[in-house]
Copies of this chain bind each other. A is one copy, B any other.
Amino acid sequence: MSLIVTGTIGIDTVHAPTGSAEKVLGGSCAYFAAAASHLAPVRVVGAVGGDWPAAHREQLTTFRGVDLEGLEVRPKSSTFAWGGRYFDNMNRRETLFTHLGVLEEAPPKVPASYRDSRFVFLANTHPAVQLDLLRQFPSRQLAVADTMDLWINIAREDLLKLFKELDGVVVNDQEATQLTERTNAISAAREIVKLGPSFVVVKKGEHGAILVHKDGTAALPAFPADERHVVDPTGAGDSFAGGMMGWLAGTGRTDFHSIQTGLAWGTVMASFTIEKFSLDRLATIDRHQLDQRMHQFRSAARIA
């Protein structure tokens, strides 16, 4: 089934105890699309500026199944850029700079050929923009959105409006608490489900993820990686969402058990993403490696 993602394409600069990466391909759209493309073709709606490096486009097109027709290039604008630094155990980071660039302008247009998309993922941006984008997919079968602390603080009303039209919401544990004032992740997710969506996924980083759905509850550990394998956590959450949505679009299913399996594919994709900077590790995995890691994850998380 056709899968579409709307969000940012960015130029990332990352400093970590494991090294640095300057002006590399990043952004929610890029990570999502790269991860999802291993499981289903994916359409990208986003915007970049005239400064977007040709090498970044080239890298994104090496992912078979990533359709860039919806990627707008605005020659007089600049691409969204982000710089950050990770500390000690990679769980904490600080933002060094943010250049909004095209994100301060009008949202990207959805090409007419994309309007029949069935699986829709709205990566983090202003919820009013997400809602406007959402309504451009009248054939949607499953619509899921991400958000961030900023919008919970300054655009809660728009966010609540968006929630009413979504099937699913993906948040991290702090956002879940911030939205609901519940520190227990299951309780927080149940509160969010009351706001409209059929399901909520709470991402807990190294502690895994939970799914609260009107038809059931699921909990998964993270892939048990030791510190040698954690090079750069940037994009883990977006890759997770890409793996989940890619699995669902690839199978055409939207039931509880399929979403639960989708979480496992998301976990596997995120476990690859963090092994290298940017999309470098996602770019080199093949089907065999994917299946092997899924097998390892199943074995590690098995309850006999």
Contact = CB atoms under 8 A, between A and B. Distances in A.
Contacts of A208: 207-208, 219, 221
B300 A230 contact: no
A152 interface: no
A299 B298 CA distance: 13
B186 A224 contact: yes
19 contacts: A91-B183, A182-B227, A184-B225, A186-B227, A187-B227, A187-B228, A204-B207, A207-B207, A207-B208, A218-B301, A219-B221, A219-B224, A219-B300, A220-B303, A221-B221, A260-B302, A261-B304, A264-B304, A298-B303
Nearest to A89: B183
A43 interface: no
A86 interface: no
Contacts of A228: 187
Contact of A299 (B88, B204, B216): B216
A207 B298 CA distance: 18
A233 to B, nearest CB: 12
